[in-house]
Amino acid sequence: MLRQEVYEKTSEVFGTVVAVANVIGYTSVEEKCVEETPVTYKKVSDEVDINMIICKAIDESKYKDLQKKLYIHNKTRHPRAKDLTIYKKAWKEICDY
């Protein structure tokens, strides 16, 4: 429990009500790390890579050129080609010249 004077001083400084919570239970950091393992999904990973290519193009003022190359590649792309492959190919062509 907070002493009354600490409670009043804290509430005046922060301008809000101060409350004390009861701890129901806790886990240690080691247990928390073991419980939550990162899960990666291939489709989401591809979207992140595509977004990184777009961000690079915007930062380097090459977004317009990227869109032109993407349009050209999408017209002649294979039906099973992934979007990430098309973006990588277009980005590589832009960076080469």
Mean pLDDT by 10 residues, the chain (97 residues): 70 70 68 65 82 93 94 92 93 86
Residues 19 and 60 in one domain: no
Question: Residue 22's pLDDT is what?
Answer: 66
Residues 91 and 61 in one domain: yes
The pTM (predicted TM-score) of the whole model is: 0.56
Find the domain containing 60 and state its range: 42-96
Let me know: does 1 contact 21? Beta carbons within 8 Å: no
Question: What's the token pair of residue 72?
Answer: 């050209």
Residues 87 and 52 in one domain: yes
Question: Residue 32's pLDDT is what?
Answer: 63
Question: Residue 69's pLDDT is what?
Answer: 94
Q: Which ranges in 1-97 belong to alpha helices (H)?
A: 4-14, 29-35, 42-59, 63-75, 83-96
Question: Residue 4's pLDDT is what?
Answer: 73
